[in-house]
Amino acid sequence: MSKNSFQVEHRYLELPDSFYSRVQPSPLSEPRMVCFNQALASDMGFLVRDENDWAAIGAGAELLEGMDPVAMKYTGHQFGMYNPELGDGRGLLLWETVGPDGTRWDWHLKGAGTTPYSRFGDGRAVLRSTIREYLCSEAMHGLGIPTTRALFMISAKDPVRRESIETAAALMRVAKSHIRFGHFEFAAHHEGPEALKTLLEHVIALHFPHLISLPEEQRYARWFEEVVERTARLIAKWQAVGFCHGVMNSDNMSIIGDTFDYGPFAFLDDFDAGFVCNHSDHEGRYAYNRQPQVGFINCQYLANALLPIMDEDTVRRGLRRYETAYNEHFKHQMLAKLGLEEADGSDMGLIMDTFSMLHEHRVDYTRFFRGLSNLHDHGTAPVRDLFADRSVADEWLERYEARLQKETRGHDEREYAMRRVNPKYILRNYLAQQVILEAQNGDYEPMKELLKVLEKPFDEQPEYEKYAALPPDWGKHLNISCSS
Ligand code: AMP
Ligand code: MG
């Protein structure tokens, strides 16, 4: 099938058995390979001769030697309420591989059938949401934002009931870890301090090896600080790129700080600070501008779970890292987006005023910053044209040009650097919607083309200009179903 240069491991099975249930996948019928990530496979240490050979594995009809599928047990806070019943309800951890560069990869088959944690669910995933997850994880990776990845996805004949009957699909999601904040909540609230310690040591050994040699108290303290900081930095990156996650429950928070679990997510088109992309989120708990706060609340849930084995003051100190790490990283990102390198006391004011203006005038977030990255090549028109009232743009541009006078970098150098942080291409909801419709009609080529563009979001790619266009009116406020 393929030439492997990875090692097989399954370190998750070293945890106490309460952390998982062994489950065989329920096979899907007549699977068809939709998309295979050859570049990722090669990074992971294997070469694929025929992608179609992997379809049966994606369908859960075949396992490779060494695969030992388990559904992971975790709990978590969903919309602020603790739910003890969670766990992999439709995904199975198949094994872990270690690539030639030493990177560890969990292989998780999402859509593999029911497990003891499925509750009322059918254990399946549909084509629509699987394509969205595939596209978004690869788009985030292209943007340089930590994320789980998509190795391949299949579609199948089986009908799946959602609001209507849809096509079944499955995604081979890979990540350096599938351990969530919710794993710690499960250990703390149901298993006791020994299990919690075992989980913590497992995570440190695999993902924070630089902490291993520290004495226990320091090791735990530093580890928690690092998790808090990674979470803060991740969310600062989301804010800077205009990404809304939509379901920031603590069971969807990765312990290593990856973007995890793509549901009703959205990238902002017209900037709206209070944008809510999840249509079941009636109170706007996970609105774009609440994400930094929610990230902190999730760190508090994790902190609570650590209290049985960590001192309260230490945990509190760790939590305090959140605000500083978030503010520092957010400012750093925004200054880079504006092309500002020289320190200037007024910059935070400029950043906040810019957000207020984008919000008030509902300016397309991505095109605004990309336009600023080409001012000296393309002039001010691409920026001004985003405003119904051009005088607002002119006033802002005047202030910005005045600020640029303090910069010592040349225009060309600055704008080149800005184009490496301000994407031209993002996964707008309407673009995803278009390729999903084509895929539902059996044509996966449009999805593959979009994927190719999103892999290099900072490159001009003039032949794909259409993917950088403003959304048409129908595409601006799509109702993305959360039933995935
Ligand atoms: P999510 O909202 O995707 O993060 O899912 C929350 C929980 O519901 C997780 O424990 C999932 O495994 C489970 N779940 C979601 N969809 C299904 C489904 N179709 N069948 C079984 N479990 C599901
Ligand atoms: Mg989830």
Predicted confidence (pLDDT) per residue in 129-155, tens digit: 999 999 999 999 999 999 999 999 999
Assigned token pair, 338: 């504006």
**pLDDT at 9 > cutoff 80:** yes
Contact in structure between 170 and 130 (CB atoms under 8 Å): yes
Pocket of ligand 1, beta carbon within 6 A: 86-90, 117-118, 121-124, 247, 252, 261, 263
The two tokens of residue 170 are 């499955």
Query: Token digits for 272?
Result: 């709206």
Residue 315 lies in a domain: no
Last residue of a domain, one of 175, 201, 225: 175
Question: What is the whole-number distance in angstroms between the Cα of residue 88 and the centre of ligand 1?
Answer: 7
Residue 294 and residue 298: Cα distance in Å, rounded? Answer: 6
What Cα–Cα distance (Å) separates residue 281 from each residue in 79, 179, 245, 443? 8, 25, 12, 33
pLDDT for position 31: 98
The distance from CA 411 to its chain's CA centroid, rounded to whole angstroms, is 33
Question: Ligand 2 is a single-atom ion; what residues have CB below 5 A from it?
Answer: 252, 261
Instruction: List, in sequence order, every residue forming a beta bridge with 105; answer none if it has no partner.
Output: 97
Q: Do the domain assignments include residue 229?
A: no
Q: Is 270 a catalytic residue?
A: no
Which bin fits 351, alpha (ψ -120 to 50), beta or left (φ > 0)? alpha
- Reported as a pLDDT band with limits 50, 70 and 90, residue 3 is low
Residue range 96-129, pLDDT digits in tens = 999 999 999 999 999 999 999 999 999 999 999 9
pTM of the model: 0.98
Cα 365 to ligand 1 centroid, rounded to whole Å: 32
Residue at which a domain ends, from 175, 205, 239:
175
Residue 155 lies in a domain: yes
Q: Does pLDDT of 26 surpass 60?
A: yes
Per residue in 313-340, pLDDT (tens digit) is 999 999 999 999 999 999 999 999 999 9
Q: Which domain holds residue 384?
A: 339-419
The end-to-end CA distance of the chain, in Å, is: 31
Catalytic residue among 158, 251, 258, 364: 251
Amino acid at 440: Q
- How remote is the CA of residue 113 from the centroid of ligand 1, in Å? 11
> Is residue 93, in this structure, part of any structural domain at all?
yes
Residues making up the binding site for Mg(2+): 252, 261
Burial class (CB in 10 A: 0-12, 13-18, 19+), 180: buried
- Residue 43 lies inside a defined structural domain of this protein: yes
**What's the mean pLDDT when you consider all of the chain?**
97
pLDDT at residue number 483: 79
In a domain, 82, yes or no: yes
- Is 193 within the bounds of a domain? no
Residue 343: what pLDDT? 86
**Residue reference for tokens 């935070």:** 348
Q: Is the pLDDT of residue 458 over 80?
A: yes
Listed residues 379, 401, 419: the one ending a domain: 419
How many folded domains does the chain comprise? 2
Q: Determine the Cα–Cα distance for residues 227 and 380; give it in Å rounded to an integer.
A: 42
Structure confidence by residue, pLDDT tens digits, 241-252:
999 999 999 999
Could you report the per-residue pLDDT of 258-298, keeping only the tens digit for each? 999 999 999 999 999 999 999 999 999 999 999 999 999 99
What is the rounded average pLDDT of the residues 78-105? 97
Q: Which residue, judged by its Cα, is nearest atom 13 of ligand 1?
A: 89
Residue 460, domain member (yes or no): no
